[in-house]
Amino acid sequence: MDSFTAEDLSTIGGIATVSILHSFIPTHWLPFSIVGRAQKWTLSRTLLV
């Protein structure tokens, strides 16, 4: 496989940045937090789910 070009690395960096920022959107983690609190799960159990 050939080495990555600057454009490839820029694209990969952009994708990584967007995916990390996207994971902070509450619709991804809020339901688990609410269920964990309602079920009285520990923090480790909630994070494991």
Question: Is residue 1 one of the residues assigned to a domain?
Answer: no
Over residues 16-38, the mean pLDDT reads 92
pLDDT for 31 beyond 80: yes
Question: Is residue 42 one of the residues assigned to a domain?
Answer: yes
pLDDT for 46 beyond 80: yes
Does residue 43 contact residue 29 with C-beta atoms inside 8 Å? no
What is the C-alpha to C-alpha distance for residues 12 and 6, in angstroms, rounded to an integer? Answer: 10
Go through 36-48 and write b for each residue having 16 or more CB atoms within 10 A of its CB, e for each that does not: beeeebeeeebee
pLDDT for 2 beyond 80: no
Q: Where are the beta strands (DSSP E) in the chain?
A: none
Which residue segment(s) compose the domain that 18 sits in?
Answer: 6-48
Number of domains in the chain: 1
pLDDT for 49: 83
The pTM (predicted TM-score) of the whole model is 0.54
Percent above pLDDT 70 for the chain: 98
pLDDT for 43 beyond 80: yes
